Amino acid sequence: MYVAVKGGERAIQSAHELLAEMRRGDPEVPELTLEQIQNQMGLAVDRVMNEGSLFDAELAALAIKQAQGDMIEAIFLLRAYRTTLPRHGTSEPIETKDMRVLRRVSAVFKDVPGGQLLGPTYDYTHRLLDFTLAAQGEAPTEDPSSDLSSHAFETEVSPDPEQMARVLEILERDTLVETPKGPDVPSRDLTREPLDYPVDRATRLQALARGDEGYLLALAYSTQRGYGRTHPFAGEIRSGVVSVSMPFEELGYALPVGELLITECEMINQFQGSADVPPTFTRGYGLQVGLSERKAMSMALVDRSLRADEFEEEIESPAQDEEFVLSHCDNVEAWGFVSHLKLPHYVDFQSELELIRKLRDARETQDAS
Amino acid sequence: MDKPILTAREVTRAYTPDQGCLGVSLDVWPGEVLGIVGESGSGKSTLLRLLSGQESADSGSILFLDRAGTPIELTETPESALRYLGRTEFGIIHQNPRDGLRLRISAGGNIGERLMGVGNRHYGDIRAIAESWLTEVEIDPARIDGKPLHFSGGMQQRLQIARNLVTNPRLVFMDEPTGGLDVSVQAKLLDTLKRLVHDLGIAVIIVTHDMGVARLLADRLLVMKQGRVIESGLTDQVLDDPHAAYTQQLVASILQVN
Amino acid sequence: MQAELTGYNFAYLDEQTKRMIRRGLLKAVAVPGLQVPFGGREMPLPYGWGTGGIQVTASVIGSDDVLKVIDQGADDTTNAVSIRHFFARTAGVETTEVTEEASLIQTRHRIPESPLSEGQILIYQVPIPEPLRFIEPRETETRKMHALTEYGVMHVKLYEDIAQFGQISTAYAYPVLVNGRYVMDPSPIPKFDNPKMHQSPALQLFGAGREKRLYAVPPYTDVISLDFEDHPFEIQSWDEDCALCGATDSFLDEVIINDAGERMFVCSDTHYCRQNRDASDG
């Protein structure tokens, strides 16, 4: 006997119970603590904070735990929490020149004032599975890159905690690279106001900053392969701690309220110019919290390709198309809409069924006559 | 020359039994302009694509006589040789100039491409030739470094013509070359085309649904209906004394507009 | 130097893979400048960091080879150190910084200043093997263009440079015509190095890991940089000499020495620079 599906409530409850069980896994295995996630899966935490647009490592760790490591689910959880928080105001712009630098590399000059500082990076590790980690061992005593430290230009760096000039700033002085323009309009909060195309660069960067890492990476890659080429050079990538200040109206000045670990990427791109205008390098910008270097670089590449209109370049590739890029960069929106296909569409499908049958009948009648 | 430059026999490419191009035979003589007219869907653009090697026929023969007088059977020619012919012996003017131009390359670069493709390696010469061709198609030579992206539709079409004619092709295919342009722009462009075709003595196959264009440019006309040629003859003959009812309708529709 | 890595084959790749790559290389040598597809493997270094070059090196290296690895001309840049270290660990071969002593030189973005000799192999890391890529992004179309020698568009690019800037504004990865047949991307070496490829006594092999292509220039092959008769190919030159060794004939890197933006110029080829300094000291 056929019984139409009802009792959704019970089904949902059971699903949640199963999910909780699955999330916890084998109870014999100790439960993950948020400290463990924050400490040992820091890059996952960074990603969730960036795309969740909430800079709270502990909550991000909780989201990761609750989502069983599903990053988009974790980002979703964090966003859903963020939206309930009150807004107290807007901080002063951070000054990355004053960063306490953890890592700083420039690919355009062999050496720069302040030096190249490799910092903690997977870049020069050989991707060989380390079975000592599997054996619950401590960090390997034989660091595959240990002999790198003998190379002079890496050890002698002791970054001046006061200031380290940005590489592009030095090039700006010679007017070889464009000087960035500040926003014409006060920055808006994308999470409070909808996007209104065309958008200014600051808003665009805001959208990219919370955009999906994989999506931006693929778009950035496409520009390198010729779909909207921008001839990029990694002018400077720096990671470190900056101070965040809030203006206090009652005091009439700003006070530091905390510190952020951030990663900044400035790309130097193909020059513009004509017979009349001297050629000048253009630039792309990426900024993320934590050590999210992949995302910061992708963001900088996509930022530059989205400036095609500004430089009167022909817009012919996906990465140059502002509406295409920004309308699809939010993974919570994207997964929401893709996943909604799982919802019942009985009624819509029924209408289609009815129509297709009618069309086929009409055709059969015609063929018969 | 006493032989046709292009001889097509029973050329067929059927999309459905009465659509496409069905058993068309024609001759094109050196220096003549052959017009192919018919309403949309009559198969005239398909025929043009078959004759110019942009699409391959199901059956039939298309024989082309090259500069050296060697007959080349286009239906059996590999793509490499077809593309070479496309650069040296043929010209193709698309209805939409965007299909025939590199929009982000300067006007000079667009004209120069074919020259460089056949081995010209002198920048100054290429530029001088490009300038003279701009003058020839009545574009201000000062626009030589401008990108066709920023040109008007009429200018784009003129540039496409210059880009094709710069290597002295012997047979030019045109698909509605004045389609999509304002009437006044059309008239000027037709004047230019007529002058160039006459001065250079190139053979042209032009597809158009516009009898005015056909009358102005074509020496002879083929009328197509449902994939077949139903009438042919000298342009004046066909237009002034159309035999088939279909042709009479085509002619009448234009007379009303004029 | 660390102990050799155990549990992996000599030079990391298995012998079947090496054989496959060597077959590709043979074809590449037989048809100079032709891009030969090959079954590129996942390597323990990221794509874009030299996986093509590493696979080529791994396929041709033997235990008696002496390996030099440079990046931007320098033996001491991090990526060069890393790759040299990789082969020291996986193949246990002798390594060197002396150009003349090396039987294999893997390079990214430079050709050494010291002339190469017969018997040496120069292995280039290639990011984008297709010289037509930025004119035509589609592989299906560029393959046809190579097959039919349709290289007009390549000169259109150079024409546009001159029209816009008054000169050819391609400074690196400057396209070349190999053996009068194939237009080839020389990898992003500065155009300064292009003339060194022409009629070189050394074998030049190119590996693109991400794009899975091999190509080659056999010894004593014509390699001509594309240009116009009235705008001939020219290499970079500097007003300065190397601040360290005084060389006047080498490619110079610019180094910013302070926040005020003061610069100095030094040889990009670190071995060449040291050799010059040693010679003048002695």
Per residue in A181-212, pLDDT (tens digit) is 877 777 788 888 888 888 999 999 999 999 99
User: Annotated catalytic residue: which of C24, C40, C73, C245?
Assistant: C245
The count of CB pairs under 8 A between chains B and C is 58
User: Annotated catalytic residue: which of C24, C33, C53, C207?
Assistant: C33
Gap between the Cα atoms of C279 and C282, Å rounded = 5
Gap between the Cα atoms of C207 and C215, Å rounded = 7
CB atoms within 10 A of CB C237: 10
What percent of chain A is predicted at pLDDT more than 90?
Answer: 55
Which are the contacts of A206, defined by CB distance < 8 A and separation ≥ 6? A187, A188, A189, A190
Residues C174 and C250 in one domain: no
Torsion sign (Cα): B195, B200, B204, B207? negative
**What integer pLDDT is reported at residue B18 of this predicted model?**
75
* Residues of chain C contacting residue B127, judged by C-beta atoms under 8 Å apart: 163
Contact assignment for C128 to A225 by CB distance below 8 Å: yes
**What integer pLDDT is reported at residue B134 of this predicted model?**
96
Residue B198 confidence class, pLDDT cut points 50, 70, 90: confident
Nearest CA in chain C to A168: C261
CB atoms within 10 A of CB A69: 14
Please state, rounded to an integer, the average pLDDT across all residues of chain B.
90
Gap between the Cα atoms of C96 and C108, Å rounded = 16
User: Of the candidates B80, B102, B123, which has its C-beta nearest C228's C-beta?
Assistant: B123
B144 at interface of C, judged by CB pairs closer than 8 A = yes
Q: Does C153 map to a domain? A: no
Among C72, C95, C141, C256, which would you mutate to test the A interface (most chain A Cβ atoms within 10 Å of its Cβ)? C256
- Asked if the model's pLDDT at residue B233 lies above 80, the reply is yes
Residues C184 and C282 in one domain: no
Backbone phi and psi for residue B221, each to the nearest 5 degrees, phi listed first: -130, 145
**What integer pLDDT is reported at residue A155 of this predicted model?**
35
Contact assignment for B102 to C156 by CB distance below 8 Å: yes
Q: Does C162 map to a domain? A: no
For C164-226, give the DSSP string: HHSS----BS--EEETTTEEE---S-BGGGHHHHTT-SSEEEEEETTTTEEEEE-TT--EEE-
Task: Give yes or no for a contact between C265 and C255, defined as CB atoms under 8 angstroms apart.
Answer: yes
**What integer pLDDT is reported at residue A146 of this predicted model?**
41
**What integer pLDDT is reported at residue B139 of this predicted model?**
95
Which are the contacts of A278, defined by CB distance < 8 A and separation ≥ 6? A175
Task: Give yes or no for a contact between B25 and B200, defined as CB atoms under 8 angstroms apart.
Answer: no
Q: Does C197 map to a domain? A: yes
- State the virtual CA torsion across B124, B130, B136, B138 in degrees, nearest 10: -120
Q: Strands across the sheet with C182-184, in order? A: C182-184, C176-178, C223-225
Burial class (CB in 10 A: 0-12, 13-18, 19+), A22: exposed
Residue B195: alpha-carbon gap to chain centroid: 15
Any idea where the domains of chain A sit in the sequence?
Answer: 11-82, 96-122+149-334
Backbone phi and psi for residue B27, each to the nearest 5 degrees, phi listed first: -125, 140
Gap between the Cα atoms of A332 and A340, Å rounded = 12
Q: Identify the CA nearest to A198 among candidates A305, A322, A300.
A: A322
* Residues of chain A contacting residue C259, judged by C-beta atoms under 8 Å apart: 113, 165, 170
Per residue in C53-84, pLDDT (tens digit) is 999 999 999 999 999 999 999 999 888 999 99
The whole-model pTM stands at: 0.80
Domain with C262, as residue range(s), is 237-282
Per residue in B167-192, pLDDT (tens digit) is 999 999 999 998 878 888 888 888 88
* Residues of chain C contacting residue B113, judged by C-beta atoms under 8 Å apart: 152-153, 156
Contact assignment for C256 to A170 by CB distance below 8 Å: yes
Gap between the Cα atoms of C135 and C175, Å rounded = 13
Gap between the Cα atoms of A248 and A258, Å rounded = 14
- Asked if the model's pLDDT at residue C90 lies above 70, the reply is yes
Q: Identify the CA nearest to C108 among candidates C158, C155, C52, C166.
A: C52
> What is the distance between the terminal CA atoms of chain C, rounded to a whole angstrom?
29
**What integer pLDDT is reported at residue C227 of this predicted model?**
96
**What integer pLDDT is reported at residue A274 of this predicted model?**
63
Per residue in A21-33, pLDDT (tens digit) is 999 999 999 999 9
Gap between the Cα atoms of C121 and C119, Å rounded = 7
Q: Does C155 map to a domain? A: no
* Residues of chain C contacting residue A156, judged by C-beta atoms under 8 Å apart: none
Backbone phi and psi for residue A306, each to the nearest 5 degrees, phi listed first: -75, -5
Count of domains observed in chain C:
2
C267 belongs to the catalytic site = yes
To the nearest whole Å, the CA of C64 is away from the closest chain A CA by 24
* Residues of chain A contacting residue B104, judged by C-beta atoms under 8 Å apart: 313-314, 316
Residue B254 confidence class, pLDDT cut points 50, 70, 90: low
Gap between the Cα atoms of C44 and C211, Å rounded = 17
- Name the CA radius of gyration of chain B, rounded: 18
Residues C197 and C242 in one domain: no
Q: Identify the CA nearest to B130 among candidates A169, A30, C162.
A: C162
Among A225, A274, A312, which would you mutate to test the C interface (most chain C Cβ atoms within 10 Å of its Cβ)? A225
Q: Identify the CA nearest to A118 among candidates A261, A286, A265, A237.
A: A237
Task: Give yes or no for a contact between B30 and B170, defined as CB atoms under 8 angstroms apart.
Answer: yes
To the nearest whole Å, the CA of B104 is away from the closest chain A CA by 7
Report which listed range, A105-114, C6-15, C185-194, is most confident. C185-194
Residues C258 and C124 in one domain: no
**Lowest mean pLDDT, pick from A7-16, A97-106, A318-327:** A7-16
Name the DSSP letter for residue A102. E
Backbone phi and psi for residue C187, each to the nearest 5 degrees, phi listed first: 70, 165
C242 belongs to the catalytic site = yes
* Residues of chain A contacting residue C190, judged by C-beta atoms under 8 Å apart: none
> What is the distance between the terminal CA atoms of chain B, rounded to a whole angstrom?
38
For A238-254, give the DSSP string: EEEEEEEEEEETTTTEE
- Asked if the model's pLDDT at residue B19 lies above 90, the reply is no
Q: Does C3 map to a domain? A: no
Residues C186 and C135 in one domain: yes
Residue C281 confidence class, pLDDT cut points 50, 70, 90: confident
- Asked if the model's pLDDT at residue A157 lies above 80, the reply is no
A110 at interface of C, judged by CB pairs closer than 8 A = yes
Q: 3-class SS at A61?
A: helix
**What integer pLDDT is reported at residue B84 of this predicted model?**
84
| Residue B48 structure tokens | 């043009």
Residues C180 and C60 in one domain: yes
Gap between the Cα atoms of B218 and C167, Å rounded = 45
Backbone phi and psi for residue C193, each to the nearest 5 degrees, phi listed first: -85, -15
Contact assignment for C255 to A147 by CB distance below 8 Å: no
- Asked if the model's pLDDT at residue A240 lies above 60, the reply is yes
B103 at interface of C, judged by CB pairs closer than 8 A = no
Among B77, B110, B118, B123, which would you mutate to test the C interface (most chain C Cβ atoms within 10 Å of its Cβ)? B123
C245 belongs to the catalytic site = yes
- Asked if the model's pLDDT at residue B240 lies above 70, the reply is yes
Q: 3-class SS at A271?
A: strand
Per residue in A272-287, pLDDT (tens digit) is 766 667 888 999 999 9
Q: 3-class SS at C148?
A: coil
Contact assignment for C230 to B144 by CB distance below 8 Å: no
Nearest CA in chain B to A274: B145
**What integer pLDDT is reported at residue B255 of this predicted model?**
52
Residues C135 and C209 in one domain: yes
| Residue C260 structure tokens | 């005020």
Residues C19 and C120 in one domain: yes
Among A276, A314, A315, which would you mutate to test the B interface (most chain B Cβ atoms within 10 Å of its Cβ)? A314
What percent of chain B is predicted at pLDDT more than 90?
Answer: 60
Q: Give one word for A6, left, alpha or beta, with left for phi > 0 and alpha for psi -120 to 50.
A: beta
**What integer pLDDT is reported at residue A243 of this predicted model?**
95
| Segment A205-227 mean pLDDT | 96
Considering only residues 186 to 215 of chain C, which have any Cβ-Cβ distance to chain A shorter than 8 Å?
none
- Asked if the model's pLDDT at residue C3 lies above 70, the reply is no
Please state, rounded to an integer, the average pLDDT across all residues of chain A.
87
- State the virtual CA torsion across B77, B81, B87, B92 in degrees, nearest 10: 20
For chain B, give the DSSP string: --S-SEEEEEEEEEEETTEEEEEEEEEE-TT-EEEEE--TTSSHHHHHHHHTTSS--SEEEEEEE-TTS-EEEGGG--HHHHHHHHHHTEEEE-SSHHHHS-TTS-HHHHHHHHHHHTT---HHHHHHHHHHHHHHTT--GGGGGS-GGGS-HHHHHHHHHHHHHTT--SEEEEESTTTTS-HHHHHHHHHHHHHHHHHHT-EEEEEES-HHHHHHH-SEEEEEETTEEEEEEEHHHHHHS--SHHHHHHHHHHHHH-
Q: Identify the CA nearest to C199 among candidates C226, C220, C213.
A: C220
Residues C94 and C220 in one domain: yes
Gap between the Cα atoms of C233 and A65, Å rounded = 60
* Residues of chain C contacting residue B106, judged by C-beta atoms under 8 Å apart: 160, 163-164
Per residue in A125-150, pLDDT (tens digit) is 888 888 888 876 655 554 444 443 33
Q: Does C148 map to a domain? A: no
Q: Give one word for A31, left, alpha or beta, with left for phi > 0 and alpha for psi -120 to 50.
A: beta
Backbone phi and psi for residue B177, each to the nearest 5 degrees, phi listed first: -65, -20
Helix and strand numbers, DSSP H then E, in chain A? 14, 4
Tokens 């048809």 sit on residue:
C31
User: Annotated catalytic residue: which of C7, C152, C267, C282?
Assistant: C267
Nearest CA in chain B to A315: B104
C52 belongs to the catalytic site = no
Q: Identify the CA nearest to B217 among candidates B199, B237, B194, B240.
A: B194
Give, in degrees to the nearest 5, the angle at Cα A356 between A353 and A360: 140
Contact assignment for C76 to A151 by CB distance below 8 Å: yes
C180 belongs to the catalytic site = no
Q: Does C89 map to a domain? A: yes
Q: Does C102 map to a domain? A: yes
Contact assignment for C137 to A227 by CB distance below 8 Å: yes
Task: Give yes or no for a contact between B82 and B92, defined as CB atoms under 8 angstroms apart.
Answer: no
Residues C23 and C135 in one domain: yes
C258 at interface of A, judged by CB pairs closer than 8 A = yes
Gap between the Cα atoms of B36 and B27, Å rounded = 12
B104 at interface of A, judged by CB pairs closer than 8 A = yes
Per residue in C218-246, pLDDT (tens digit) is 999 999 999 999 999 999 999 999 999 99
| Segment C1-12 mean pLDDT | 74
Q: Give one word for A221, left, alpha or beta, with left for phi > 0 and alpha for psi -120 to 50.
A: alpha
User: Of the candidates B80, B108, B117, which has its C-beta nearest C152's C-beta?
Assistant: B117
Nearest CA in chain A to B148: A314
Residues C34 and C123 in one domain: yes
To the nearest whole Å, the CA of B70 is away from the closest chain C CA by 21
**What integer pLDDT is reported at residue C244 of this predicted model?**
94
| Segment B119-128 mean pLDDT | 96
Task: Give yes or no for a contact between B175 and B94, defined as CB atoms under 8 angstroms apart.
Answer: yes
